[in-house]
């Protein structure tokens, strides 16, 4: 009887957990649909901005913006997008692994020259295990991406780059491909160079890797179109590049949050399905033991009857 009570208690516990995982799966599904619509509309806009930017440098040889100028890397800033909560499979573990790989690549610069911007609490542990302290922690805005916040953080990074306080900025985040596929991306944010002037995401994730595309780059075998630029190239680039960088930062944050909801929805679906299987197995065991208990009681009754006769 004690064993039956124990199994019954386990069944109730599993069913209670299943209700929680099922509810979390539905919540993540709703949030995913909402933010997925936003990012699917934003992707084409970001890609077209980059296409326009590609046309401008090919007209002149000079780089009119400080954000186009590369220099020797003596100090690097790494922006890490993670989540504030768990139960999303390997979502945060994958980010932590990538952060370790990227920081290891820059360790020759010295830990004091590796500045980390943290957006999401779950990556903080990995960073502190490497004896690095976040330069800035924006975990409070991790779950609610907004253009205003992206504009502010991107502006701070751009100002530090313009002043020469940092020589390179890299982003680490998840790129949403589908509900069942999210890949970790490590791409340069500053300076803007040939490896950042493309419109497809890479899954290589190597430090310094940018975006890839199968489209023929500007300046290839095909002659560049002779565009008329008004008012002038320098004015357009001065106003255009900061806008592109802010949009890019916002897109990366949206990408990360979209991937988080997708990963959590998948993880909770798997947990719910496993709870179903476990409940079924426990119920079968419970019924088997109950039947055995009833059979034993009947045998005792029958044996007692014959003994008294």
11 in Cβ contact with 279 (< 8 Å):
yes
What's 140's DSSP letter? G
CA–CA–CA angle 246, 151, 153 (5° rounding): 105
Residue 147: both structure tokens together: 């253009």
Per-residue pLDDT of the chain (309 residues; tens, 9 = 90+): 668 888 888 999 999 999 999 999 999 999 999 998 898 888 888 888 888 777 765 554 555 678 888 889 999 999 999 999 888 889 999 999 999 999 999 999 999 999 999 998 888 877 888 888 888 889 889 888 999 999 999 999 999 999 999 999 999 999 999 888 999 999 999 998 765 554 445 433 344 444 433 333 444 455 556 667 777 777 778 888 899 999 999 999 999 999 999 999 999 999 999 999 999 999 998 888 888 878 877 777 776 665 555
Instruction: Using DSSP bridges, classify how beta strands 114-119 and 168-178 pair: parallel, antiparallel or unpaired.
Output: unpaired
User: CATH number, domain at 275?
Assistant: 1.10.287.80
Are 196 and 250 in a shared domain? yes
Task: Give the count of beta carbons closer than 10 Å to the beta carbon of residue 305.
Answer: 9
Would residue 113 count as lying in a domain?
yes
53 in Cβ contact with 243 (< 8 Å):
no
The pTM (predicted TM-score) of the whole model is: 0.81
Question: Residue by residue, what is the 3-state secondary structure of 97-134?
Answer: HHHHHHHHHHHHHCHHHEEEEEECHHHHHHHHHCCCCC
Are 13 and 146 in a shared domain? no
Count of domains in the chain? 2
203 in Cβ contact with 185 (< 8 Å):
yes
Handedness of CA 50, 168, 92, 245 (dihedral sign): negative
**Buried/exposed 57-87: b ≥16 CB within 10 Å, e otherwise:** beeeeeebbbbbeeeeeebbbbbbbbbeeee
Would residue 129 count as lying in a domain?
yes
Are 71 and 216 in a shared domain? yes
- Using CA atoms, how far apart are residues 125 and 99, in angstroms rounded to an integer? 11
Are 8 and 137 in a shared domain? no
Would residue 308 count as lying in a domain?
no
Residue 187: strand, helix, or coil: strand
Are 18 and 64 in a shared domain? no
Domain residue limits at 253: 30-263
Would residue 309 count as lying in a domain?
no
Are 177 and 285 in a shared domain? no
């Amino acid at each position: 009887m004690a064993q039956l009570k124990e199994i019954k208690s386990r069944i109730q516990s599993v069913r209670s957990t299943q209700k929680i995982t099922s509810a979390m799966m539905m919540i993540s599904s709703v949030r995913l649909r909402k933010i997925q619509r936003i990012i699917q509309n934003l992707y084409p806009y970001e890609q077209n901005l980059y296409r326009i930017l590609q046309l401008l440098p090919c007209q002149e040889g000079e780089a009119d913006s400080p954000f186009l100028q590369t220099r020797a890397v003596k100090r690097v800033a790494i922006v890490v997008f993670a989540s504030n909560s768990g139960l999303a499979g390997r979502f945060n573990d994958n980010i932590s692994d990538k952060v370790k790989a990227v920081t290891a690549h820059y360790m020759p610069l010295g830990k004091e020259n590796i500045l980390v911007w943290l957006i999401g609490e779950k990556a903080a542990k990995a960073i502190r295990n490497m004896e690095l302290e976040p330069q800035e922690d924006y975990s409070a805005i991790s779950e609610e991406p907004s253009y205003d916040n992206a504009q502010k953080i991107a502006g701070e990074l751009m100002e530090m780059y313009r002043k020469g306080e940092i020589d390179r900025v890299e982003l680490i985040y998840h790129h949403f491909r589908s509900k069942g596929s999210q890949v970790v991306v490590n791409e340069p944010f500053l300076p803007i160079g040939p490896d950042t002037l493309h419109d497809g995401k890479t899954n290589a994730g190597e430090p310094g890797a940018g975006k890839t595309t199968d489209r023929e780059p500007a300046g290839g075998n095909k002659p560049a179109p002779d565009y008329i630029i008004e008012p002038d190239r320098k004015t357009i680039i001065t106003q255009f590049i900061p806008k592109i960088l802010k949009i890019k930062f916002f897109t990366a944050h949206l990408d990360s949050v979209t991937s988080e909801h997708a990963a959590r929805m998948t993880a909770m679906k798997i947990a719910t399905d496993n709870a179903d299987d476990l409940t079924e197995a426990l119920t079968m065991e419970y019924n088997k033991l109950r039947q055995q208990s009833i059979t034993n009681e009947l045998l005792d009754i029958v044996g007692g009857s014959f003994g008294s006769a």
